[in-house]
Homo-oligomer: A and B are copies of this chain.
Amino acid sequence: MEKRVAVLPGDGIGPEVMAEAVRVLEVVGRRFNHTFHTEYGLIGGAAIDEKNNPLPKETIELCESSDAILLGAVGGPKWDQNPSELRPEKGLLAIRKHFDLFANLRPVAAVPSLIHASPLKEEIVKEVDMLIVRELTGGLYFGKPSRHTDQSAVDTLVYTREEIERIVDKGFELARLRKGKVTSVDKANVLESSKLWRKIVEEKKVDYPDIEVEHQLVDSAAMKLITNPSVFDVIITENMFGDILSDEASVITGSLGLLPSASVRSDGLGLYEPVHGSAPDVAGQGVANPAAAILSVAMMLKYSFGLETEAAAVEKAVNTVFEEGHFTADLAGKDQRALSTKEWTDKIVDEL
């Protein structure tokens, strides 16, 4: 197989973890006989510095001619005071919208060798294995009118039937490949958009008789993610609720540093990025944990290229290296030697 991958390192620790992710991708290519052409582009703060635009047209062109996109992280204090249009995260929002990457997939699973790092009790999180499917290009994030004066402000939560249908279908399809359960999260006791959302889920479930479906209100889901997170398999929800719940879920197993994410559209094009941010405080020191970036490569192999075996090999390598007790500074115990970003990836490369 031959594929073109756009690599957008971004800011902070982004370039460091992307370098290792690309190295792993190349090893996978050699071992499984694929050719991955990687080409680099600017996004976020790095793009603002060079092009005065968080998503320059060169980057859009690069991504348009690629089969998948790998992204490091964007943002940092340097750009915090910038006007809204010149902020790194605008690059993220713009790339999602431009490429219609409507489905954000955020897996969260307990890793036995890291469960001690969870803020929750082990018995609560040890069985956690969920996938949050967040709608990413609609709702409050993009609805118009959206403006403020000194006296008032308005944002608009809009969804069309098509926008809801495609994300709901996505969730059902993904549940089929997992434990077969969908929890649709809304606020149907208050929001009209949630009423349409719930109606469409009810309609769609007829097409997926093998899937168990439940509805949950967003406030109650926010509680259950803490009191009983292992009841979830696939969670489907709209953009704003998904932003909050997926970040909430990301900390329950204690492994935020290793969570990958995918933002995909129907034809397979996808953007893959670690959930962690740009961590400007540790950037440039070679100590960042590349696990989430490497697992994002695994998601890309699986979801954009259909390379299940290859993806599984990467995931297995990561688990093995953790089980053998190799950790970067963020996860190493007090008496353990912390590996550098590069050293830790060496272990992965050896495994592969």
Check B151–A160 contact: CB distance below 8 A. Answer: yes
Indicate which residue in B121, B140, B256 contacts A190 across the interface (CB closer than 8 Å). B140
Q: Is A150 an interface residue (CB 8 A)?
A: yes
Q: How far, in whole Å, are A146 and B150 apart by their CA atoms in the complex?
A: 24
> In the assembly, how many copies of this chain are there?
2
Indicate which residue in B121, B148, B152, B193 contacts A120 across the interface (CB closer than 8 Å). B121
Indicate which residue in B161, B227, B243 contacts A151 across the interface (CB closer than 8 Å). B161
Check A192–B157 contact: CB distance below 8 A. Answer: no
Q: Is A81 an interface residue (CB 8 A)?
A: no
Would you list which residues of chain A between 145 and 172 have a CB under 8 Å from chain B?
146-161
Shortest C-beta distance, A138 to chain B (Å), equals 10
Which of A173-181, A216-224, A316-324, A330-338 sits within the interface? A216-224
Indicate which residue in B120, B154, B191, B222 contacts A222 across the interface (CB closer than 8 Å). B222
Among A140, A153, A157, the most chain B Cβ lie within 10 Å of the Cβ of: A153
Check A156–B153 contact: CB distance below 8 A. Answer: no
Q: Is A135 an interface residue (CB 8 A)?
A: no
Q: Is A265 an interface residue (CB 8 A)?
A: no
Check A192–B247 contact: CB distance below 8 A. Answer: no
Report, as a range, how many residues of chain A touch the other chain. 35 or more
As a 0/1 sequence over residues 186 to 215 of chain A, the CB contacts with chain B under 8 angstroms (1 = contact) are 010111110111010000000000000000
Q: Is A263 an interface residue (CB 8 A)?
A: no
As a 0/1 sequence over residues 114 to 127 of chain A, the CB contacts with chain B under 8 angstroms (1 = contact) are 00001111001000
Q: Is A143 an interface residue (CB 8 A)?
A: yes
Check B247–A193 contact: CB distance below 8 A. Answer: no
Check A155–B191 contact: CB distance below 8 A. Answer: yes
Residues of B within 8 A of A156 (CB): 154-157
Q: Is A250 an interface residue (CB 8 A)?
A: yes
Q: How far, in whole Å, are A154 and B141 apart by their CA atoms in the complex?
A: 13
Instruction: With CB as the reference atom, state the residue of chain B lying closest to A151.
Output: B161
Check A161–B150 contact: CB distance below 8 A. Answer: yes
Q: Is A67 an interface residue (CB 8 A)?
A: no
Check B147–A192 contact: CB distance below 8 A. Answer: yes
Indicate which residue in B187, B196, B251 contacts A227 across the interface (CB closer than 8 Å). B251
Of all A-B residue pairs in the complex, the 6 with the closest CB atoms, nearest first, are: A219-B247, A153-B196, A153-B193, A222-B248, A148-B192, A148-B196
Q: A residues near B, CB below 8 A?
A: 84, 87, 89, 93, 118-121, 124, 140-141, 143, 146-161, 187, 189-193, 195-197, 199, 218-220, 222-223, 225-227, 240-241, 243-248, 250-252, 256
20 other A-B residue contacts (CB within 8 Å) besides A187-B243, A219-B247: A87-B189, A93-B190, A119-B124, A120-B121, A121-B121, A140-B157, A140-B191, A150-B199, A152-B159, A152-B196, A154-B157, A154-B158, A155-B156, A156-B156, A218-B244, A222-B222, A222-B245, A226-B248, A227-B251, A244-B244
A–B pairs, 23, beta carbons within 8 Å: A84-B195, A87-B189, A119-B121, A120-B120, A120-B226, A143-B154, A148-B193, A153-B159, A153-B192, A153-B197, A154-B156, A154-B192, A154-B193, A155-B156, A218-B243, A219-B243, A220-B247, A222-B222, A223-B247, A226-B226, A226-B248, A226-B252, A248-B248
